[in-house]
Structure 1
Amino acid sequence: MNKTIIIVIFLFGLNGFSQSKSELEVKQTILSFFDGFHKQDSLAIKPHVSESVILQTIGNNAEGMPSVKTVGFGNFLKSITSIPKNQKFEEKLLGFNIQVDGPMAHAWTPYEFWFDGKFSHCGVNSFQLFNENGKWKIVYLIDTRRKIGCETND
């Protein structure tokens, strides 16, 4: 093989690993959402979600069976802003798997949740986003929460 062919193959290979502009924008939207979340700042969170955002979590009911719980966005904001400032929490995102098709995107983000420096639980966030007039907005977020099968990165 000549050098030109090797260079072309190498450059196309690198391109397969790079993120598109849309993928980077989706990731930034999610990171900005979590920045506001960690600061307990509802005004910093709101620009990153749709007015009709749906929030759900999958956990276990009283019988230990998986169940889905819907959380109103207003209640979500109240819950995080009511946490006393002397109590620290952090949702550590462990990675991003982002898929984009035109104005729709999906992001899969495994995470660990820490409260006051102690591991609480782990799971996965599944975000659905919509590109509204050039700005990505979260329209749906569902997560799992578990204490078993977590590999903590402390």
Structure 2
Amino acid sequence: MKYVAALFLLISSLGFSQSSDEVAVKFTIDRFFSAFHAQDSVEIKKTVSNHVIMQTITADKAGKSMVKTEDFSKFLKNIVAIPKEKKFEEKLLSYHIQVDGNLASVWTPYQFWFGDIYSHCGANSFQLFKENNAWKIIYIIDTRRKEGCQ
């Protein structure tokens, strides 16, 4: 009976373990956000491809949903320009990672805080490409809302 229980635990743990690619993909996302919070544009650039696309799903003044493409270099300038005494944090609530060969997809629900003040929530969707044995973010899209948050 002990052997059956041990075998069951072994098989169960194998089913829930992450692949080395999943770990590397998560590391890339964590590195991106670590650099984001440190306002380190040089380090952020190391996590993305040279042609990264950044979009957000938002609403126009009439409340109609739309997709807005953001210039990544402008995003970096805006992050660096935040005064250092203004603390902000995008708290990732979970990671849903899928990998197929050199393509990875990551879904990260989040909450955004300025200091101790809650700002908004949403979800990020990242697409990554494995290039020269390194995972790079090639596409980012997010949602932002103030209501219906966890």
Q: TM-score range by the shorter chain?
A: over 0.9
What does 1:61-100 correspond to in 2, within 5 Å? 61-100=60-99
Task: Name the structure 1 match of 2:148.
Answer: 149
Indicate yes or no: 2:114 matched with 1:115: yes
In 1, Cα distance between equivalents of 2:61 and 2:69: 16
In 1, Cα distance between equivalents of 2:109 and 2:87: 20
Query: What secondary structure is seen at the aligned counterpart in 2 of 1:148?
Result: coil
Indicate yes or no: 2:139 matched with 1:131: no
In 2, Cα distance between equivalents of 1:8 and 1:120: 47
Task: Name the structure 1 match of 2:7.
Answer: 8
Per mean C-alpha deviation after superposition, the further-off stretch among 82-91 and 137-146 is 82-91
Deviations 1:103-128 (A, max 9, x none): 00000000000013200000000000
Aligned length: 150
In 2, Cα distance between equivalents of 1:65 and 1:114: 26
Task: Name the structure 2 match of 1:36.
Answer: 35
After TM superposition, which residue ranges in structure 1, 4 or more long, deviate above 3 angstroms? none
User: Structure 1 regions of 5+ residues with no counterpart?
Assistant: none
Aligned-residue offset at 1:3: 3.2
Q: TM-score, normalised by structure 1?
A: 0.94
Q: TM-score, normalised by structure 2?
A: 0.97
Aligned-residue offset at 1:35: 0.6
Aligned-residue offset at 1:5: 3.1
- The sequence identity of aligned pairs, in percent, is 56
Cα RMSD (Å): 0.9
Task: Name the structure 2 match of 1:59.
Answer: 58
In 2, Cα distance between equivalents of 1:19 and 1:65: 39
In 1, Cα distance between equivalents of 2:144 and 2:69: 14
In 2, Cα distance between equivalents of 1:74 and 1:148: 29
In 2, Cα distance between equivalents of 1:147 and 1:65: 16
Task: Name the structure 2 match of 1:140.
Answer: 139
In 1, Cα distance between equivalents of 2:40 and 2:63: 33
User: Structure 2 regions of 5+ residues with no counterpart?
Assistant: none
Task: Name the structure 2 match of 1:22.
Answer: 21
Query: What secondary structure is seen at the aligned counterpart in 2 of 1:147?
Result: coil
